[in-house]
């Protein structure tokens, strides 16, 4: 039996040598801390790696809404939505999402990965070309592969390169430009206004993944496209409930012809059991919170700006951005793991991000701040970071 898996053992050894093996630790949330603190192996840690940006995951009204929905509709989904699994809750959520995003319709998916793979594979095919930013999320890449369209990657946020490629493929049946609005590992933003101009100039279609901007950008948290006033120039707006919403699932908003097509063609929607009613109930409550709790967005922006300033003042090189995702470049995989372990020992949860999630040689610590962090907590984190740097590098700034 051992010889049967020799190839897996060899691959595992290679991954360990390159510090690319992965494990996980069991996390216990501390609800009263609004997600800002967790316990791992009994140790209390400041949580600087969560996507719970607004601190809504433990909001009592959201938890209670999920419990109420479960009591009324049951604990789990009973079928796919096309096979008698479509409770009234789903219709209500999609109606509200469409109103929130100011589009004709919306569709709810099980998660962001299924939304991107299902939507792209349903809307693009042989004879089409999909232009994808080189740093787009893996779910976008996999969706393009599944679609069988030609996959053309342009250099990150490089508009000249994208335009060159659009000119090169002018004869394609359809041209899709797909991008994240806020990039999950770098925390920078896509040049959405310029992408909309290229869409118009070359007769392309545009899809924007607002996973890390939904809930935190825009007047009511609709996302970066709405903040910039160009959402009506986007053909498909995608977002998730697992980040700022603090729940689970994903959605797309678009005009009715697109929604109608996806309902009948998106395989990840058709062949998946509907989300449990408790999830939909909590998501509806979270949407209300997002629309009304402007203080959470303000607190998040202030915390992100303050944390970046403190890092710079301590000699760390961080990008001049305004998002809640703040990567600290390390470089080598093993060094990033050492840094993350030192943080853990000092009471901070901040995970090392390594290839293939990021390009080779760009391993990093990815910090994410939350609306529920306090200035004292963030200041303490910067002090600990500086101490670890001095310990590992002899006061050489990263």
Q: List residues with catalytic annotation.
A: 184, 212, 243
Q: Which residues contact 75 (CB under 8 A, 6 or more apart)?
A: 276, 278
Does residue 96 contact residue 309 with C-beta atoms inside 8 Å? no
> Is the bond preceding 66 in cis, omega lying within 30 degrees of 0?
no
**CA–CA dist 29, 14 (Å, integer):** 34
Q: What is the number of helices (H) and of strands (E) in the chain?
A: 14, 14
- Give the CA distances from residue 65 to residues 71, 133, 178, 281, in Å, rounded to whole numbers and listed in that order: 10, 38, 34, 5
Q: With helix as H, strand as E and coil as C, how does 152-198 read?
A: EEECCCCHHHHHHHHHHCCCCCCEEEEEECECCCCCCECCHHHHHHH
Does residue 73 contact residue 87 with C-beta atoms inside 8 Å? yes
Phi-psi label, residue 34: left if phi above 0, alpha if psi -120 to 50, beta otherwise: left
**CA–CA dist 46, 36 (Å, integer):** 6
Q: Which two tokens stand for residue 348?
A: 């901070």
Q: Which residues contact 298 (CB under 8 A, 6 or more apart)?
A: none
Q: What residues form DSSP beta bridges with 349?
A: 47
């Amino acid at each position: 039996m051992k010889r049967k898996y020799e190839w897996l053992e060899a691959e595992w050894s290679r991954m360990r040598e390159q510090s690319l093996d992965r494990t996980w630790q069991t996390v216990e949330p501390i609800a009263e801390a609004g997600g800002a603190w967790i316990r791992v192996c009994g140790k209390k840690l400041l949580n600087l790696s969560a996507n719970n940006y607004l601190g809504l995951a433990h909001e009592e009204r959201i938890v209670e809404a999920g419990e109420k929905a479960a009591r009324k509709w049951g604990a789990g989904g009973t079928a796919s939505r096309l096979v008698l699994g479509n409770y009234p809750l789903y219709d209500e959520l999609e109606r509200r999402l469409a109103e929130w995003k100011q589009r004709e319709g919306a569709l709810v998916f099980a998660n962001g990965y299924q939304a991107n793979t299902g939507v792209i594979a349903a809307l693009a095919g042989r004879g089409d070309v999909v232009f994808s930013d080189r740093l787009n999320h893996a779910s976008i890449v996999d969706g393009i592969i599944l679609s069988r369209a030609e996959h053309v990657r342009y250099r990150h946020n490089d508009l000249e390169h994208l335009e060159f490629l659009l000119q090169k493929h002018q004869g394609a049946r359809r041209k899709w430009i797909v991008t994240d609005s806020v990039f999950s590992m770098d925390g920078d933003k896509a040049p959405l206004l310029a992408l909309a101009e290229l869409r118009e100039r070359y007769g392309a279609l545009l899809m924007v993944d607002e996973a890390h901007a939904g809930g935190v950008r825009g007047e009511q948290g609709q996302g970066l496209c709405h903040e910039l006033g160009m959402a009506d120039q986007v053909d498909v707006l995608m977002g998730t409930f697992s980040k700022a919403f603090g729940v689970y699932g994903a959605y797309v908003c678009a005009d009715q012809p697109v929604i109608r097509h996806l309902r009948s063609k998106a395989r990840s929607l058709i062949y998946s059991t509907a989300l449990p009613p408790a999830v939909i109930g909590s998501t509806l409550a979270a949407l209300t919170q997002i629309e009304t709790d402007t203080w959470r967005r303000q607190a998040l922006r202030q915390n992100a700006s303050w944390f970046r300033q403190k890092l710079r003042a301590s000699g760390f090189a961080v990008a001049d951005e305004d998002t809640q995702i703040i990567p600290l470049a390390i470089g080598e995989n093993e060094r990033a793991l050492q840094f993350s372990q030192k943080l853990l020992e000092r009471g901070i949860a901040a995970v090392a991000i390594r290839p293939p999630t990021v390009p080779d040689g760009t391993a990093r610590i990815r910090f994410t701040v939350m609306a529920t962090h306090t200035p004292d907590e963030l200041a303490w984190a910067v002090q600990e970071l500086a101490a670890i740097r001095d310990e590992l590098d002899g006061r050489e700034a990263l």
